[in-house]
């Protein structure tokens, strides 16, 4: 018996007639009769006997019904799951992101998305750049929101938006700061390095070296928001992504875009063999629109 046979058998068994089964399945009575006869032919024994205008299940039909009912319940559950997935209900969105993007950008975007999709649950974890590929390969997360996607033959990515690196410092330390701030203004300044944070931090360090701009290296951090917190505490100035700088703004703090600009892109990375679900794609579209508005 195939699934269609089981569906018709189950409908006739529960309703007691071909006409009622046809109405339940939204098909014609001849179609039900034909499928039922074919099922009995495949099985090699009758499933129903006609008694006073009704189809009465045989002993064999009673024996099969419990399993048929379990199969139909599984089919119903699968349909419900597919319907929920289509509408984003009852499903979990598993995301990982860099600490810089996990401070404000992702939480605010998720809050906006969940307001429109209240049945969705969220798992959001922060990871460092060097750990992204391993987390995806181990299926510990479905999508990573990052700057530069990892170089890995098993991964694919899509671009979501862009931003700029900015200088983050106390206003009292640089009261006459231009906007944008020339990189040359960092010469001799106490600088908290983010060169080990990932590609963006390294790119800024390389640009300073290329221009032979020497700073006073007072500290370093692999994490943008820690570097910004150090700057806020008065250890020196730092260069971080725009989203971290916005999240770390406080009275007495300032930020400036750089001249020349130090742009970066934001991507979604995932396993090529396991592309994002429809739910994840919907969220990525939402995040892409949000990044466009807040450029």
pLDDT band at 90 (very low <50, low <70, confident <90, very high): low
CA–CA separation, 179 vs 261, rounded Å? 11
Mean pLDDT, range 92-120, rounded to an integer: 90
User: What token pair was written down for 262?
Assistant: 């130090």
Q: How much is the pTM? A: 0.66
Quote the pLDDT of residue 117.
85
* Structural domains of the chain sorted by starting position, each given as residue range(s) with its CATH number in brackets: 3-87 (1.10.10.10), 92-160+265-293 (3.40.190.10), 163-264 (3.40.190.290)
Can you say how many angstroms the Cα of residue 135 is from the centroid of all Cα atoms in its chain? Answer: 14
Q: What are residue 216's DSSP bridge partners?
A: 190
Q: What is the mean pLDDT of residues 172-179?
A: 92
pLDDT at 77: 80
E-assigned strand segments in the chain: 48-51, 54-57, 92-97, 121-126, 143-146, 155-170, 181-182, 190-193, 216-220, 237-241, 253-259, 263-271
């Amino acid at each position: 018996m195939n699934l269609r046979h089981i569906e018709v058998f189950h409908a006739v068994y529960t309703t007691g007639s071909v006409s009622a089964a046809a109405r339940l399945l939204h098909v014609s009575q001849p179609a039900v009769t034909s499928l039922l006869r074919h099922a009995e032919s495949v099985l090699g024994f009758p499933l129903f006997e006609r008694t006073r205008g009704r189809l009465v299940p045989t002993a064999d039909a009673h024996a099969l019904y419990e399993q048929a009912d379990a199969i139909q319940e599984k089919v119903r559950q699968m349909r419900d799951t597919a319907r929920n997935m289509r509408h984003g209900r009852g499903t979990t969105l598993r995301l990982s992101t860099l600490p810089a993007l996990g401070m404000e950008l992702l939480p605010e975007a998720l809050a906006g998305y969940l307001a429109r999709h209240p049945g969705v649950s969220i798992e959001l974890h922060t990871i460092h750049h060097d750990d992204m590929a391993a987390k995806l390969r181990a299926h510990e997360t479905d999508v990573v929101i990052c700057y530069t996607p990892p170089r890995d033959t098993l991964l694919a990515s899509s671009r979501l938006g862009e931003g700029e690196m900015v200088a983050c410092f106390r206003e009292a330390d640089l009261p006459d700061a231009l906007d944008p701030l020339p990189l040359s203004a960092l010469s001799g300044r106490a600088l908290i390095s983010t060169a080990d944070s990932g590609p963006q931090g390294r790119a800024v360090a390389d640009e300073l070296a290329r221009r032979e701009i020497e700073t006073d290296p007072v500290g370093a951090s692999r994490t943008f928001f820690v570097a910004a917190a150090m700057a806020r505490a008065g250890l020196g100035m730092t260069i971080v992504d725009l989203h971290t700088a916005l999240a770390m703004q406080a009275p007495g703090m300032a930020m400036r875009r750089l001249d020349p600009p130090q742009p970066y892109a934001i991507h979604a990375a995932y396993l090529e063999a396991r592309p994002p679900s429809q739910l994840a794609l919907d969220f990525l579209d939402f995040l892409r629109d949000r990044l466009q508005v807040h450029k």
